[in-house]
Amino acid sequence: MTLWELSDPCSRVRGIGSQLTADLGSIGIHTVRDLLLHAPRSYEDRNTPVSLLEALQQDVPANCLLTVLRHEYIGGRSGRRTLKVLAHDEQTSVSLLCFGRDFLANVLRPQTQIRFFGKVSVRYGEVQAGSFDVEPAGTDSRGFGRIVPVYPLAGRLTQGVLRKVIAEAIHGYADHVEDTLSPELRKSIGITPSPVSTARAISDLHNPRRIPEARTARELLATEELLLLQLRTHVDRASTRVAGAREARDLPRGLASKLVAALPFRLTADQTAAIEDIWRDCSSDTPMNRLVQGDVGSGKTLVSFVSVAFQKEAGFQSVLMAPTELLARQHADNAARLLEPFGVRTALLHGGLKGSIREALLRALAAGEIDFLIGTHAVFTAAVAFRKLRLVIIDEQQRFGVAERTTLRQKGLVPDTLFMTATPIPRTLALSLFGHLSVTTIRTMPAGRKPIITHLARLGNEQKVYRAVDAELAAGRQAYFVYPLVDGSGSLSLKDATAMKERLEREIFPGRGVGLVHSRVPEAQKAATMASFTRGELDVLVATSVVEVGVDVPNASCMVIEHAERFGLSALHQLRGRVGRSSMQSYCFLVYSDELTEAGKQRIQVMHRTSDGFEIAEEDLRIRGPGNVTGMEQSGYLKLAIADLSHDIELLQRCALIAQNVVDDDPGLLSPEHSRIRDALKAYTRTRLSE
């Protein structure tokens, strides 16, 4: 078995009970593999002792071998006594202040040798240490005589506990894993001449004998992960590039032209170019695999609808998968409004459809009486059968991949696939991550849009913001108010959506209609609230970040985000994109509190300075590192276990090339030398999809 197949739950590891399982789960460690790949953030060298004099000269904790002289107790101001252990080495004496650790009196016996690890400094005329680890020399402990890993912690987790359970996991699992990469693959990646085994790399990552070993180990494991990531995308691509999957045939464009001509506006040049790209792809003999990226409101959805018209006229069906039911509904409403007049029969498959109504819909779909089906991932379940599906549109997520394609292929389908995303992918990453997709970028916004004016306000000055919003409401416009929390649970002194809905309704905008949506509002109610906000019956919509993607109410001109410092950059950008969707002037108000972290401050400044989604994405990458670029993170696409793209971009690019070569030579990865990587890939793909 390879490392990547270690999907047993952590609770199988000795010493991990239910409480610890929960604590580990809260930082994303669920499986044995997650635990083994929880990389130390640094290491303490407790291996080679130095003298107290040397220790004094360095600014970091040091490791010394000392002899205990005697114990003293010193009085504290509160009358509590503190144990003070006097110890020395050849040249120097030191006072070890054992605050609250009286038990050390039994451990540090006079005249015995002890191992010490801590920071020493000169205070009150003597050499002192106040926080340190000690143990009698000669005892066999995990703490000394080695290089000790220092892990990222959260909640109740402690270094000691993590060190112990990770050691158990290495012992129980890692020591037995097979290498993921065959010698041939290692050679082509350049892990030569003395490659360590995967098992050894895991052990070195946590317990290196010398620090450079840990670096080598991390690199091997990161390489494995990135190679799997790239293999996954290239296998995926290869599986759609079925030679001669169909005849090249120019799709008719009459219906699409009529649709475009009937729009109350003209398409932007970028929209037209995107439509051309798609038409060309869909008319060729190779199924399309295209990503259309463009800022919120740039008109991607419309582009996809025009593509549906091509398919309809050629006699094919299309399906659109949205990330949430709210968005699916909205797309379905728009599709009905724009496409039905041209004879395109649309339908929404939603969770509320039950029994005979659902049956009827599925029958109509199978009979080809529905041209365009819209829904969430439920549109790909086994019960949903199409007559002639030819176009799959995926809105706002890259998760659609191997599993869904497999389902479709089992139904004998190799459709054209169109991904749409408003998460601007930084140039530095796009090529490597989406090398398997053709990319079209919509950069220009529809004509006549005024840039959104962004105002910053310190918490405490929000009355000004409320007054500005009030003026907009009085002019017949609508506003969003977004909060980081659903309700005030917990001790954080944050405003929350539920309480603020009440306040805005009663005190701040009395007489106005105020609605509330968040993740815990039932779907049907959410849909009803959204619908009445869309119709203009509600003036104010209070929400959490659920309104982040896709919601489209052109009459809304104000976006107020309170505790803006709590949101990530791309979330802020997405939220701001909810306004400015018509020709009227729109405003975004970012209300921030004093408890700004440096990163929080930078984010708000970036939002103030620019509205270019690509620039914001680059900044996001710079401030937080790519693993955290929201949107990609949400999509599950970039949840990397050990690789870190802010350091490993070059490695990623190298892996992309290798993956391409491997897959080009052997698209099914069927040759025996690939058997382990095939298994690893299977496991890797499975966990990614189930995230």
CB of 415 to ligand ADP, least distance (A): 21
CB-wise, 70 or 266, nearer to ligand ADP? 266
What per-residue string of b and e applies to 512-529 under the rule 16 or more CB within 10 Å gives b?
A: bbbbbbbeebeeeebbeb
Which residues make up the interface to Mg ion (CB under 5 A)? 301, 550
How many residues bind ligand ADP (CB under 6 A)? The answer is 17
99 binds ligand ADP, rule: CB under 6 A? no
Please, what is the end-to-end C-alpha distance for the chain in angstroms?
22
Residue 355, burial from CB neighbour count under 10 angstroms (0-12, 13-18, 19+): exposed
Listed residue (152, 161, 149, 167) closest to 44, CA to CA? 149
Residue in the structure block whose two tokens are 């091997």: 220
Closer by beta carbon to ligand ADP, 437 or else 521: 437
Max Cα separation, the chain?
96
Query: Residue 447 CB, nearest distance to ligand ADP (Å)?
Result: 6
Options 49, 61, 287, 294; binder of ligand ADP; rule CB under 6 A: 294
Instruction: Say how far apart CA 660 and CA 254 lie, in whole Å.
Output: 39
Nearer to ligand ADP, 223 or 417 (CB): 417
Per-residue CA distances from 273 to 227, 278, 436 (Å)? 34, 9, 20
Provide, rounded to whole angstroms, the least separation between the CB of residue 288 and ligand ADP.
Answer: 18
- Pairing between strand 113-118 and 62-75? antiparallel
> Nearest 10 degrees: CA dihedral of 227, 229, 232, 233?
-110
Is position 332 an interface residue for ligand ADP (rule: CB under 6 A)?
no
The identity of residue 237, as a single letter, is: R
299 interface partner picked from Mg ion, ligand ADP, none, CB below 5 to 8 A per type: ligand ADP
Contact range with ligand ADP by CB under 6 A, out of 32-40, 123-131, 298-306, 350-358: 298-306
Minimum distance of ligand ADP from residue 550's CB (angstroms): 7
**Quick one: DSSP state of residue 251?**
P
Tokens (6 digits) for 623: 């401030």
- In whole angstroms, the minimum distance from the beta carbon of 691 to ligand ADP comes to 25
Sheet strand arrangement including 587-592: 453-458, 587-592, 556-562, 478-482, 540-543, 514-517
Q: Cβ 362 to ligand ADP, closest distance in Å?
A: 28
Q: Tell me which stretch binds ligand ADP (CB under 6 A): 132-140, 296-304, 506-514, 629-637.
A: 296-304
Q: Which is nearer to ligand ADP, 470 or 552 (CB)?
A: 552
Beta strands in 475-513 (DSSP E): 478-482
Binding partner of 581, given Mg ion, ligand ADP, none, CB within 5-8 angstroms per partner class: ligand ADP
Q: Choose among ligand ADP, Mg ion, none what residue 149 binds, the Cβ cut-off being 5 to 8 Å by kind.
A: none
Q: What angle do CA 307, 349, 548 make, to 5 degrees?
A: 75
Rounded to the nearest 5 percent, the helix, strand and coil shares of the chain are 45, 20, 40
The nearest distance, CB 662 to ligand ADP, in angstroms, is: 36
Rounded to 5°, the CA angle 497-567-530 comes to 45
CA separation for the pair 559, 555 (Å, rounded): 12
Distance CA 181, CA 54 (A): 44
Which of 550, 600 has the CB closer to Mg ion? 550
Q: Is residue 211 a contact partner of residue 43, using CB atoms and an 8 Å limit?
A: yes
Does 324 sit near ligand ADP (CB under 6 A)? Answer: no
Q: Extract long-range pairs of 527-535: CB within 8 Å, 24+ residues apart.
A: 527/325, 527/326, 527/329, 530/326, 530/329, 530/330, 533/478
Of 507-566, binders to ligand ADP (CB under 6 A) are 552, 554
The SS3 assignment for 114 reads strand
d(CA 283, CA 399): 25
Q: Which CB, 220 or 575, lies closer to Mg ion? A: 575
d(CA 438, CA 69): 73
Distance separating alpha carbons of residues 388 and 411, to the nearest angstrom: 11
Region from 202-210, 297-305, 396-404, 660-668 binding ligand ADP, contact rule CB under 6 A: 297-305
294 binds, among Mg ion, ligand ADP, none (CB under 5 to 8 A by kind): ligand ADP
Site for ligand ADP in 348-367 (CB under 6 A): none
Query: Applying CB under 6 A, which of residues 296, 433, 497, 538 lies at the interface with ligand ADP?
Result: 296
Q: Which does 298 bind (CB under 5 to 8 A by kind): ligand ADP, Mg ion, none?
A: ligand ADP
Indicate which single residue of 58, 212, 265, 668 sits in contact with ligand ADP (rule: CB under 6 A). 265
> Quick check: 581 binds ligand ADP (CB under 6 A)?
yes
Work out which of 30, 218, 234, 300 binds ligand ADP, going by CB under 6 A.
Answer: 300
SS3 (DSSP) at 420: strand
Which of the residues 441 through 460 are near ligand ADP (CB under 6 A)? 446
Tell me the HSE value of 516 on the side-chain side, using a 13 A CA sphere.
18
Pick the closer one to ligand ADP by CB: 226 or 296.
296
CB of 295 to ligand ADP, least distance (A): 7
The separation between CA 313 and the C-alpha centre of its own chain, rounded to angstroms, equals 39
Is residue 575 a contact residue for ligand ADP (CB under 6 A)?
Answer: no
Least distance in Å: CB of 582 to ligand ADP? 8
Residue 207 or residue 346: which is nearer to Mg ion going by CB?
Answer: 346
CB of 550 to Mg ion, least distance (A): 5
Pairing, β 540-543 against β 587-592:
unpaired
Q: Rank residues 264 and 490 by Cβ distance to ligand ADP and give the closer one.
A: 264
136 binds ligand ADP (CB under 6 A): no
Distance CA(92)–CA(50), nearest Å, equals: 12
- What's the min distance (Å) between Cβ of 330 and Mg ion? 9
Nearer of residues 548 and 620 to Mg ion, judged by Cβ? 548
Q: Which does 552 bind (CB under 5 to 8 A by kind): ligand ADP, Mg ion, none?
A: ligand ADP
Based on the shown chain and the rule CB under 6 A, indicate whether residue 302 belongs to the binding site for ligand ADP: yes
Q: Is 299 in the site for ligand ADP (CB under 6 A)?
A: yes
Helix (H, G, I), strand (E, B) or coil at 461: coil
- Enumerate binding residues for ligand ADP (CB under 6 A): 265, 267-268, 271, 294, 296-302, 422, 446, 552, 554, 581
